[in-house]
Amino acid sequence: MKTIVTAGGTLFHIAAAQLGDATQWVRIAQLNRLSDPILNGVVTLKIPATDPTATGGVPVQS
């Protein structure tokens, strides 16, 4: 796990940049006890370790 500081933006963009999958924004939200993916102001976020098996709460299409 690592920590980043960001000024605004969205958890979608952060998940895409940090975890390689925008749908994993839910993992970041849960770890940081956030419910809104839109960030306001300067925010320090914990970023979970990359997990290629995580689907971010979105069902895997088969």
More confident residue, 4 or 61: 4
**CB distance 43 to 6 below 8 Å:** yes
Decide which of 1 and 62 is more confident.
1
Residue with tokens 């370790």: 49
Question: Residue 44 is inside which H or E element, if any?
Answer: strand 38-47
Q: What is the pLDDT of residues 3-23, one digit of tens each?
A: 999 999 999 999 999 999 999
Per-residue pLDDT for 28 more than 90?
Answer: yes
Residue 29 C-beta-side C-alpha neighbours within 13 Å: 17
Predicted model pTM: 0.83
Backbone angles phi, psi at 11, to 5 degrees: -65, -25
